[in-house]
Amino acid sequence: MLEKVPGRKVTGPASTDWEIPGMTTVAAYAAPAAKAPLERTTIERRAVGPHDVLIDIKYAGICHSDIHQVNEGWGESIFPMVPGHEIAGVVSEVGAEVTKFKVGDRVGVGCMVDSCRECEYCLRGEEQYCVKGNIPTYNGIGKDGQPTYGGYSEKVVVDEAFVVRIPDSLPLDVAAPLLCAGITTYSPLKHWNAGPGKKVAIVGLGGLGHMAVKLAHAMGAEVTVLSQSLRKKDDGLKLGADHYHATSDPKTFEELAGTFDLIVSTVSAPMDFGALLSLLRVDGALVNVGAPEEPVSLNLFSVIGGRKTLAGSAIGGIAETQEMLDFCAEHNIGAEIELIRADQINEAYDRVLASDVRYRFVIDTSTI
Ligand SMILES: [Zn+2]
Ligand SMILES: [Zn+2]
Concatenated DSSP letters for 71-133? TTTTS---SSB-----EEEEEEEE-TT--S--TT-EEEE-SEEE--S-SHHHHTT-GGG-TT-
CA 94 to centroid of ligand 2, rounded, Å: 25
pLDDT at position 9 is 37
Residue pair 357/334 in contact (Cβ under 8 Å)? The answer is no
CA 6 to centroid of ligand 1, rounded, Å: 33
Which ligand is nearest the CA of 317, by number?
A: 2
Give the separation between CA 94 and CA 38, rounded to whole angstroms: 30
Q: Residue 142's closest CA among 20, 43, 10, 13?
A: 43
CA 315 to centroid of ligand 1, rounded, Å: 8
Give the separation between CA 45 and CA 158, rounded to whole angstroms: 10
* Dihedrals phi, psi of 236, to nearest 5 degrees: -60, -40
Residue pair 265/276 in contact (Cβ under 8 Å)? The answer is yes
Q: How far is CA 107 from the centre of its chain?
A: 15
CA 79 to centroid of ligand 1, rounded, Å: 18
Q: Which domains does the chain have, with CATH numbers?
A: 24-179+336-367 (3.90.180.10), 181-312 (3.40.50.720)
Torsion angle of the four alpha carbons 113, 114, 115, 116, in this order, in degrees rounded to the nearest 10: -170
pLDDT at position 22 is 79
Residue pair 296/275 in contact (Cβ under 8 Å)? The answer is no
Which ligand is nearest the CA of 112, by number?
A: 1
CA 5 to centroid of ligand 2, rounded, Å: 31
Residue pair 243/221 in contact (Cβ under 8 Å)? The answer is no
CA 85 to centroid of ligand 1, rounded, Å: 6
Please name the residues in contact with 301: beta carbons below 8 A apart, sequence gap of 6 or more: none
CA 149 to centroid of ligand 2, rounded, Å: 21
121 upstream amide cis, omega within 30 of 0: no
pTM equals 0.92
CA 124 to centroid of ligand 2, rounded, Å: 9
- Cα first-last separation, the chain: 34
pLDDT at position 207 is 95
171 upstream amide cis, omega within 30 of 0: no
CA 122 to centroid of ligand 2, rounded, Å: 4
Give the number of other Cβ atoms within 10 Å of residue 221's Cβ: 26
CA 146 to centroid of ligand 2, rounded, Å: 19
CA 152 to centroid of ligand 2, rounded, Å: 27
pLDDT at position 21 is 60
pLDDT at position 3 is 38
Neighbours of ion ligand 1 (CB under 5 A): 63, 65, 180
CA 241 to centroid of ligand 1, rounded, Å: 23
CA 182 to centroid of ligand 1, rounded, Å: 9
- Look up residue 84 and give its amino acid: G
Q: Residue 309's closest CA among 191, 215, 221?
A: 191
Give the separation between CA 338 and CA 233, rounded to whole angstroms: 19
Blockwise average pLDDT, block size 10, the chain, 368 residues: 37 40 90 98 96 98 96 94 98 98 98 98 98 98 95 98 98 98 98 98 97 98 97 98 97 98 93 95 96 85 95 97 98 98 98 94 98
Residues paired with residue 57 on neighbouring β-strands, in sequence order: 89
Residues paired with residue 224 on neighbouring β-strands, in sequence order: 201, 243
CA 179 to centroid of ligand 1, rounded, Å: 8
